[in-house]
Amino acid sequence: MEPSQTHWVEIHPLIVRVTHWINAFAILIMVTSGWRIYNASPLFPFRFPNEITLGGWLAGALQWHFAAMWLLVLNGLVYVTYGIVSGHFRRKLFPLWPRAVLHDVLEALRGKLAHDDLSMYNAAQRAAYLAIIFCLVVLVFTGLAIWKPVQFQQLAGIMGGYEGARFLHFGAMALMVFIALVHIVMVILVPRSFPTMITGRARRTS
Amino acid sequence: MKKRSMTTSLADHSPRLIRSIERRLFLKQGLSLGTLALLSGCELTDDEGVQKVLTGMSRWNDRVQGWIFNPNRLAPEYPESAMTKPFPFNAFYGEDEVTLVDGNSYKLEVEGLVREKRPWTLPELYALPQTSQITRHICVEGWSAIGKWSGVRFSDFLARIGADTTARYVGFECADDYSTSIDMATALHPQTLLTFRFADQILPPKYGFPMKLRIPTKLGFKNPKHIMAMFVTNEYPGGYWEDQGYNWFSGS
């Protein structure tokens, strides 16, 4: 190794990296199997192409969905607990001002948003990551209401009952998938951010 | 950089480089596994090892649902105005293939861990104390519909035939070659009814003449129609859909 002015700093703790990828895997299973379940009784006049769904048929999709839900929830609990207790959320995702979010989103749309320091999230990123966490929380609770509309009928009640929970579950899925796709596009546009979520390290010139 | 000779051994490389190569290989394998999962979701589900895990998780979910199930929690009941009209027909066959059962010669067979194994005729069943409910039928496909069913409280019927209520399962065999089974806790739930009427009319064939077990705490496919025989047992009986991979407990 020849001496240089650049050095590596850890910007993503191990627990964040591990839970990020487990979450990505669980979401992939939940979404693709969920689309197959949706196809059995569509809420809207369209179906998802079976080729991009998981499970092969309704029973298979349900098996995947109700197996991966444990992975999603347990992993999510580890991440959220860590995020709150360690101060990770407070440091990385806050403060969050609506004006700053609007400004950064517009900048991003113009292709001007700077993301030089990978250890700092801009306002658009903070909003996006918080929105994904929010969507997942809504997905888990609407999912519980759909799974157990009798046992958890108070929970289902605040969501407009069983049928209301189905629509909310779909809406939260759609919003989460949209944000996740934007997230993936952004990673493609800023490719050096990708390895940092694996190694945890970013190059910094001093 | 100096060109390396072909005889360079791995030991010449720094451990960091090896780690980095290993990491890349691992990532590459991980990515191709992900691509495989995306490309062949169907075959992936059919893979023996994967299917073993999924079935195991389904059995685990049976247990969890047994713990969640509260024997005193009642399913919401609705006013007559909320009833879904027309109520959807649903079975593993089409509406034109509905099984016709002759009510005059009909006898409900009662078997297994029960004291009185004599069969029951329809007039005998109709003479038992009846109760009604207007509840939501939720299909495993996702749709739901509200209907009115009337019949005998199943726990009363189990008491009448001297069923061993410490047994684990109650199984059902149907005239349309359908079968299913439920846990004893659900069988004893106050809203689990052995029904003979739908919307105040004798059950039409498409809704399960001569009887349907109505369980508002379970998904629709756990509510057998055209029941010909029932049995109390400690041996897992499975069922038509359950044997094909649908979750057995399927409580709501």
Q: What percent of chain B has pLDDT over 70?
A: 83
B210-238 average pLDDT score: 98
Measured distance CA(A66)–CA(A144) in Å, rounded: 11
| Residue B213 pLDDT > 90 | yes
- B66 contacts chain A (CB < 8 A): no
Identify whether residues B119 and B16 lie together within a single domain.
no
**Chain A neighbors of B143, CB-CB under 8 A:** 41
Q: Which of B46, B53, B216 is facing A56, going by the closest CB pair? A: B46
CB spacing of B141 vs A153 below 8 angstroms: no
Q: Which domain holds residue B135?
A: 75-244
**Chain A neighbors of B74, CB-CB under 8 A:** 150
3-state secondary structure string across chain A: CCCCCEEEEECCCHHHHHHHHHHHHHHHHHHHHHHHHHHHCCCCCCCCCHHHCCCCCHHHHHHHHHHHHHHHHHHHHHHHHHHHHCCHHHHHHCCCCHHHHHHHHHHHHCCCCCCCCCCCCCHHHHHHHHHHHHHHHHHHHHHHHHHCCCCCHHHHHCCCHHHHHHHHHHHHHHHHHHHHHHHHHHHHHCCCHHHHHHHCEEEEEC
Domains parsed from chain A with CATH numbers: 6-205 (1.20.950.20)
Identify whether residues B148 and B45 lie together within a single domain.
no
Assign B142 to helix, strand or coil. coil
What is the rounded average pLDDT for all residues in chain B? 89
- Residue B70 forms part of a structural domain: no
Higher-pLDDT residue of A99, A118: A99
Q: Which of A62, A149, A163 is facing B246, going by the closest CB pair? A: A62
Residues 132-161 of B with CB under 8 A from A: 136, 138-144
Can you give the C-alpha Rg of chain B in angstroms?
Answer: 27
Return the closest-CA partner of residue B240 out of A39, B187, B225, B98.
Answer: B225
- The number of C-alpha atoms within 13 Å of A29 and in the hemisphere containing its C-beta is 23
Partners of B213 in beta bridges: B194
pLDDT band at residue A14, thresholds of 50, 70 and 90? very high
Identify whether residues B23 and B148 lie together within a single domain.
no
Instruction: Please report the ipTM that was assigned to this predicted complex.
Output: 0.92
| Residue B250 pLDDT > 60 | yes
| Beta carbon pairs, A and B, within 8 Å | 94
Identify whether residues B99 and B17 lie together within a single domain.
no
**Chain A neighbors of B41, CB-CB under 8 A:** 32, 53-56
Alpha-carbon distance A187 to nearest alpha carbon in chain B (angstroms): 16
**Per residue in B60-80, pLDDT tens?**
999 999 999 999 999 999 999
* H or E element at residue B117: none
B13-36 average pLDDT score: 56
Identify whether residues B85 and B51 lie together within a single domain.
no
- Residue B52 forms part of a structural domain: yes
Measured distance CA(B137)–CA(B84) in Å, rounded: 10
pLDDT on residue A163: 97
Return the closest-CA partner of residue A78 out of A121, A21, A34.
Answer: A21
pLDDT on residue B4: 42
pLDDT on residue B188: 98
pLDDT band at residue A80, thresholds of 50, 70 and 90? very high
- Residue B3 forms part of a structural domain: no
pLDDT on residue B44: 76
- Residue B102 forms part of a structural domain: yes
Place of tokens 């996702």: B142
| Residue B205 pLDDT > 60 | yes
- Residue B4 forms part of a structural domain: no
Identify whether residues B179 and B154 lie together within a single domain.
yes
Query: Rounded to whole angstroms, what are the CA distances from B73 to B117, B179, B191, B217?
Result: 31, 26, 10, 9
Alpha-carbon distance A174 to nearest alpha carbon in chain B (angstroms): 18
Measured distance CA(B194)–CA(B232) in Å, rounded: 15
pLDDT on residue A5: 72
Identify whether residues B58 and B106 lie together within a single domain.
no
- Residue B41 forms part of a structural domain: yes
**Chain A neighbors of B23, CB-CB under 8 A:** 198-199
- A134 contacts chain B (CB < 8 A): no
- A164 contacts chain B (CB < 8 A): no
| Residue B185 pLDDT > 70 | yes
Partners of A205 in beta bridges: A6
Query: Rounded to whole angstroms, what are the CA distances from B89 to A131, B96, B139, B212, B222?
Result: 41, 11, 11, 13, 15
A171-200 average pLDDT score: 95
pLDDT on residue B240: 98
- B27 contacts chain A (CB < 8 A): yes
- A59 contacts chain B (CB < 8 A): yes
Whether the CB-CB separation of B61 and B248 falls below 8 Å is answered with no
Identify whether residues B26 and B90 lie together within a single domain.
no
Identify whether residues B98 and B136 lie together within a single domain.
yes
pLDDT on residue A117: 83
Alpha-carbon distance A143 to nearest alpha carbon in chain B (angstroms): 12
pLDDT band at residue B3, thresholds of 50, 70 and 90? very low
Assign B140 to helix, strand or coil. coil
pLDDT band at residue A119, thresholds of 50, 70 and 90? confident
- A187 contacts chain B (CB < 8 A): no
Identify whether residues B166 and B193 lie together within a single domain.
yes
CATH of the domain at B204: 3.90.420.10
**Chain B neighbors of A67, CB-CB under 8 A:** 53-54, 57-58
CB spacing of A56 vs B251 below 8 angstroms: no
What residue type is A105 in one-letter code?
V
pLDDT band at residue B126, thresholds of 50, 70 and 90? very high
CB spacing of B251 vs A151 below 8 angstroms: yes
Q: Angle at the Cα of B173 (from B75 to A64), degrees rounded to 5?
A: 60
Residue B39 is encoded by which pair of tokens? 């490309």
Q: Which residues contact B228 (CB under 8 A, 6 or more apart)?
A: B101, B108, B109, B173, B174, B175
Of A32-46, A184-198, B23-37, B162-176, which gets the smallest average pLDDT? B23-37
| Residue B157 pLDDT > 70 | yes
Q: Which of A1, A38, A63 is facing B58, going by the closest CB pair? A: A63
Q: What percent of chain A has pLDDT over 90?
A: 83
Alpha-carbon distance B53 to nearest alpha carbon in chain A (angstroms): 9
Q: How many domains does chain B have?
A: 2
**Per residue in A141-176, pLDDT tens?**
999 999 999 999 999 999 999 999 999 999 999 999
What is the rounded average pLDDT for all residues in chain A? 94
- B84 contacts chain A (CB < 8 A): no
Alpha-carbon distance A67 to nearest alpha carbon in chain B (angstroms): 6
Identify whether residues B118 and B187 lie together within a single domain.
yes
Identify whether residues B144 and B223 lie together within a single domain.
yes
Distance in Å from the first CA to the final CA of chain B: 67
pLDDT band at residue B16, thresholds of 50, 70 and 90? low
Burial class (CB in 10 A: 0-12, 13-18, 19+), A134: middle
Report which DSSP code applies to B220: G
Mutate to test the interface with B, among A14, A72, A150, A197 (most CBs of B within 10 A): A150
Q: 0.80 exceeded by the pTM?
A: yes
Alpha-carbon distance B62 to nearest alpha carbon in chain A (angstroms): 11
- B185 contacts chain A (CB < 8 A): no
| Residue B5 pLDDT > 50 | no
- Residue B28 forms part of a structural domain: yes
B26-36 average pLDDT score: 55
- Residue B212 forms part of a structural domain: yes
pLDDT band at residue B36, thresholds of 50, 70 and 90? low
pLDDT on residue B243: 97
Q: Which of A41, A59, A150 is facing B217, going by the closest CB pair? A: A150
Burial class (CB in 10 A: 0-12, 13-18, 19+), A132: middle
